[in-house]
Structure 1
């Protein structure tokens, strides 16, 4: 009888310890991996959100930059981490939808290799031309491209970048013979656009808005389904006559992920902290400066976005015959 009581007491103690361990999460610092170098767009949106989530959770969140291979090295590190909620990171449409469709050496599955915590924010690419150009609309661009005597070129941050694929989608939908000119990043492409060396490009607002506001660049359309609140007078691609563009090349996004298998209770706490951070006045102000819109979501909503993006961008990549060059 005494033996049975002792066993019962030990069992109860073990269950109590397990329950306490789960309830105590988090009890040590959390690592937030950014798969690109410090100072870039993903790093700049990560740090204020990580700090606000740290305040919510009551433990430090340490941001670590693990760059390389177009962001896939850092994402692979996240996918291999122990699924205890102490390693998370920022993912993008590039790391989850584009790279896995282009690069055969990617070691993770964007749909099954991660636990989606929630969406973080969305941004748009804007179709821009040199303000001195005689192209004043998307219609002008398409008509000019139809002339065999013209040499219409578009720049990008590199093969397989989001602004490259934005241009490829326009090329496919308009059946225009645009010539892609890849650069080592958006900055040199933007320099050549300002110098009149390429015809057009797609770019994010945080790097192009200054040139738009000072009149050096002319925005023709944005890639999102609805007009950007930062460029309310600029039409969407669909409004500009490129019907169906937003069905595939819609918002570009960032989200927070962890390795597959994070316990539901831990995931719920991470998601709540993320949503509260995104709804805070501090993060709203930070995002405004970067022309990013917060996009709070549930884990399932984020999973659905990843799946749709992976499929739709994969179709563009296949149709354009884009490979990892």
Structure 2
């Protein structure tokens, strides 16, 4: 008869069994750690740096989109305006922060496709030093003249400029700004010239257009809409790919009948980015949130009320747009229309 002890005796574990259990335990622990890491981003508030002063397009878009992105991420997004040095101060603040996904910045043509070309000391490469999240919105420009200019279409503007060399003067917010680039590129395509009058910002330039001190400008639709509705300025064409519901009778570039503009369009855009090299999971979560946020009904309504068109691109689409715009701006510089200091 077997004793109780002998009935419950087991064979001592072999080396193979011990090793198998150790491997299984390690695999389980690694899987749990990976799952835990994936679920922990973001584990604290995120800082979004706005490299412009409060109240401008970059500031407006960020304060509409970021709260919705925060809901999707489950953590607050704290916004700080850090303007100065043509947006370099804010962008450098983001790039100096730890590359952990907790410091972001808004991007625009000024910071991403102009400064890197015109400022030899910009200190970053937009195609290498950013983790692009999403190109959130865009807004078209309106080719606008003072009523004293005897033209009412883009074709008439071309004829007038060729018949009256030196009489057209356009304004922008300064040398090397997106407004100067977009106007120079259009004039180049049309084969005409105009004197560039740089101002400290777009606002004073628009005021002088209203006063007749300059006679041509390509302001954003939101900025010029009240003056157009009051008949104080004359719209000739809109730079987007489709007509604006606010200016249904104003043709797009492609609708003007000018061959050089058939497949041409332009829009000012605003997007979001982090520094290059952030963790892959952080990049994925951030890209998803900032791509989805502009599509939320309340966010879309607010953006459209401010004359912005929702783009909400993927990071890959954003990168392609940067490549294209950088190439276009290099051609404008090569034409001699813009001088690099």
Specify if TM > 0.5.
Answer: yes
1:92 aligns with 2:92: no
Match of 1:42 in 2: 58
5 Å matches for 1:282-293? 282-293=298-309
1:299 to 292, 303, 315: 315
Work out whether 1:175 is the aligned partner of 2:196: no
Q: Name the counterpart of 1:124.
A: 140
1:93/1:244 CA distance change after superposition, 3 Å? farther
- Whichever of the two has the greater Rg, that structure is 2
| Greater CA drift, 151-160 or 126-135 | 126-135
Matched, 1:280 2:311: no
Alpha-carbon deviation of 1:36?
0.6
- Structure 1 residues 216 and 299: alpha-carbon distance in aligned structure 2, compared to 1, 3 A threshold: same
In the aligned structure 2, how far is the partner of 1:163 from the partner of 1:181?
Answer: 11
Distance 1:198 1:321, change over 3 A: closer
Answer yes or no: is 1:217 the counterpart of 2:230.
no
Q: 1: distance between equivalents of 2:46 and 2:263? A: 37
Q: Deviations over 1:4-32 (max 9, x none)?
A: 78898678646634541232111100011
Q: Which residue of 2 aligns with 1:201?
A: 217
Tell me the distance in 1 between the aligned counterparts of 2:210 and 2:114: 28
Partner of 2:286: 270
| Residues 34-43 or 165-174, more deviating | 165-174
1:313 aligns to 2:313 (yes or no)? no
Q: For the residues of structure 1 that align with 2:304 and 2:274, how far apart are their CA atoms?
A: 26
Comparing 239-248 with 175-184, greater Cα deviation is found at 239-248
Cα gap change, 1:230 to 1:29, in 2 (>3 Å)? same
State the aligned residue count: 325
1:33 aligns with 2:49: yes
Runs of at least 4 residues off by over 3 Å: 3-19, 241-249
Q: Provide the secondary structure at the position in 1 that maps to 2:217.
A: strand
Q: How far does residue 316 in structure 1 lie from its aligned partner after superposition?
A: 1.2
Q: Who is 1:163 aligned against? A: 179
Bigger mean CA offset, 110-119 vs 162-171: 162-171
* Residue equivalent to 2:32: 16
| TM-score normalised by length of structure 1 | 0.92
In structure 2, C-alpha distance between the alignment counterparts of 1:234 and 1:179, rounded to whole Å: 25
Encode CA deviations 1:232-266: one digit per residue, 9 max, x unaligned.
22112232244344756522211111111223322
Gaps of 5+ in 1: none
In structure 1, C-alpha distance between the alignment counterparts of 2:96 and 2:337, rounded to whole Å: 31
- 1:188 counterpart residue number: 204
Q: Quick one: structure 1 residues 320 and 226, their matched pair in 2 at CA, closer, same or farther if it must change by over 3 Å?
A: farther
Over aligned residues, Cα RMSD in angstroms? 2.3
Are 1:106 and 2:122 an aligned pair?
yes
Separation in 1, partners of 2:164, 2:238: 27
Relative to structure 1, is the Cα distance of residues 149 and 297 closer, same or farther in structure 2, using a 3 angstrom cutoff? closer
